[in-house]
A and B are shown apart, each in its own frame.
Chain A
């Protein structure tokens, strides 16, 4: 599923950085412990987290995450937004909490 379709199908989305809208995503990961994400997330998966600081971009870059979804309406720090823009990582906030976001993504066909 393309990033544009994923964002279009979720409710309460605020896009902070639009990037790679035609990139296909089949996998997803959820986690707020950065080392857990580093060690366990598959590459090229979208990432659902409530962490909104700049190091999210560092981890996303290393794991080749094309889309970061900040759950529970978390607003990214300015540094995170800038870094995602610089690295071409799509960044959006979703009003739903992580559990509900993951449920919606699973229903769309995104798997771990």
Chain B
């Protein structure tokens, strides 16, 4: 059993407001500090913060805001980002590096480069996306505390 495994899940969640670029990144920073304070190895904290940041920016830019939750239980960290935005029309396309639906005004700020979901996939050990057009998107990314020997899987589902 992983020495970092926990019996009781540790859960925190934060609200992300739409187009609030001033606060964007605070949730990722907050989660990273929390994980560090819990003794999670730096490399795992780094992965979790990148995944959170990208999920947070997606909620800020595309999702009309949302809720980002961090759960630490057993052998894994799970980051769940839920929004009630427009949904993702084509998840496969959105997973491709460089594909973006962000407007020019957002792209000029250095966002919307089409690397958000690919970064999340890259730094997650498991990734599941549930999305429904006009209803919203829920992304669930798992980061294993001890990823050695685990196979990377991803499951993308469009409802």
User: Could you tell me which A residues sit within 8 Å of B by CB distance?
Assistant: 32-36, 38-39, 43, 49, 51, 53-55, 57-59, 61-62, 79
Contact = CB atoms under 8 A, between A and B. Distances in A.
13 contacts: A33-B115, A34-B110, A35-B54, A35-B57, A35-B113, A39-B50, A39-B115, A39-B118, A53-B21, A54-B21, A55-B109, A57-B25, A62-B50
Contacts, number: 61
Residue with the highest number of chain B CB atoms closer than 10 Å, among A32, A35, A49:
A35
Contacts of A36: 113, 115
Contacts of B99: none
Residue with the highest number of chain A CB atoms closer than 10 Å, among B25, B26, B49:
B25
A7 B70 CA distance: 39
Contacts of B109: 34, 51, 53, 55
Q: Interface majority SS on B: helix, strand, loop or mixed?
A: helix
Chain B interface extent, by class: 20 to 34
B50 A55 contact: no
Given A39-B122, A43-B46, A62-B50, A55 B25 contact: yes
Contact of B116 (A35, A57, A61): A35
Contacts of B115: 33, 35-36, 39
B26 A58 contact: yes
Contact of A38 (B22, B32, B53): B53
B25 A58 contact: yes
A38 B119 contact: yes
A33 B50 contact: no
A38 B28 CA distance: 12
A71 to B, nearest CB: 13
A101 to B, nearest CB: 17
